[in-house]
Amino acid sequence: MTKNSARAIYLLIVLVVVVLDRWTKHLVAQRIRLYAHIQVIPGFFRLTHTENTGAAFSLFADSTAPWKTGLLIAFSVIALIVVSALLWKNHHAHIATGVGLSLIMGGALGNLWDRLASGRVVDFLLVYVKQYQWPVFNLADSAIVVGAGLLIVEILFHKSSGQEETRPS
Residue 114 appears among annotated catalytic residues: no
The catalytic position among 21, 62, 114, 123 is 123
**Could you give the C-alpha distances from 46 to 24, 56, 134, 158, in angstroms and in order?**
14, 19, 11, 37
Laid out side by side, the sheet with 37-41 consists of: 37-41, 45-52, 121-129, 132-133
The catalytic position among 21, 62, 114, 141 is 141
Contact indicator for 17, 143 with CB cutoff of 8 Å: yes
Amino acid identity, position 148: A
**Could you give the C-alpha distances from 90 to 10, 115, 133, in angstroms and in order?**
10, 28, 37
Residue 123 appears among annotated catalytic residues: yes
* Catalytic positions: 123, 141
